[in-house]
């Protein structure tokens, strides 16, 4: 089965999901597909003349092969850099799963591939019982897990993989992402690879530019 669209999650916030998402987008584009990215929910957005904008969502917009409206890429944007459900409460907004799905469907109708980046980790709450795991299940996409290689990452990776599978989702593969040059431990990567029972689709070193990430990824 050829995979065209994926949902990218991480073991935590700040593990490099956006860089890996951009890398996956460029891998898909190199195979001749039209590609767009999506960041359905984002907090920590900046006020601009065009409205609230999120740095990660803007990077996904730049990596796309076709031009789409920012509001489709990031339908829910919040200014406070706090948990998205709390940010939504402060803004007087309820995150609506149907709106996220409608935006995804519109992107899916105009591009061959959509790379959807989650917010934070796998079980981050968004609106009541609705969380990142439920969003991924709603979109019915295979999951790519990003693991920041650091102390404690083996436990985090195993717990997240178990939760992904427990949510009824297919763990397509995982990426070892090195954000700290002092944490380049191939033994740890091997331990995670054996524990997850899912293919490692990339071991990404600390890089000066996200444009280089695709060189270290093998899209399934």
Residue range 33-48, pLDDT digits in tens? 999 999 999 999 999 9
The H-or-E segment that residue 115 falls in is strand 113-121
- Quick check: is 1 in a domain? no
Domain holding 174, by residue range, is: 6-216
Q: Is the pLDDT of residue 19 over 90?
A: yes
The tens digit of pLDDT for each residue in 162-186 reads: 999 999 999 999 999 998 877 777 8
Task: For residue 131, give the 3-state DSSP assignment.
Answer: strand
Q: Report the domain count for the chain.
A: 1
Write down the pLDDT at residue 182: 72
CATH number, domain containing residue 88: 3.40.50.300
Q: What is the mean pLDDT of the chain?
A: 95
Active site residue 17: no
Task: For residue 35, give the 3-state DSSP assignment.
Answer: strand
In the set 17, 26, 39, 178, the catalytic residue is 39
Nearest CA-CA partner of 21 in 144, 106, 192 = 144
């Amino acid at each position: 089965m050829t995979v065209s669209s994926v949902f990218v999650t991480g073991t935590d916030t700040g593990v490099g999901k956006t860089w890996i998402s951009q890398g996956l987008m460029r891998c898909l584009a190199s195979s001749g597909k039209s590609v767009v990215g999506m960041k359905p929910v984002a907090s920590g957005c900046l006020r601009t003349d065009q409205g609230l904008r999120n740095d990660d969502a803007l990077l996904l917009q730049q990596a796309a092969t076709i031009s789409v409206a920012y509001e489709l890429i990031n339908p829910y944007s919040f200014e406070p850099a706090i948990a998205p459900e709390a940010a939504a409460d402060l803004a007087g907004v309820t995150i609506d799963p149907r709106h996220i799905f409608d935006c995804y469907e519109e992107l899916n109708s105009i591009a061959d591939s959509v790379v959807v980046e989650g917010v934070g980790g796998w079980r981050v709450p968004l609106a009541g019982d609705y969380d990142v795991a439920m969003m991924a299940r709603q979109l019915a996409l295979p999951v790519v897990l990003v693991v920041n290689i650091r102390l404690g990452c083996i436990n985090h990776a195993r717990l997240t993989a178990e939760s992904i599978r427990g949510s009824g989702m297919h763990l397509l593969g995982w990426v070892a992402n090195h954000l700290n040059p002092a944490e380049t431990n191939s033994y740890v990567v091997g331990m995670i690879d054996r524990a997850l029972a899912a293919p490692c689709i990339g071991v990404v070193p600390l890089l000066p530019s996200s444009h280089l990430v695709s060189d270290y990824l093998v899209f399934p």
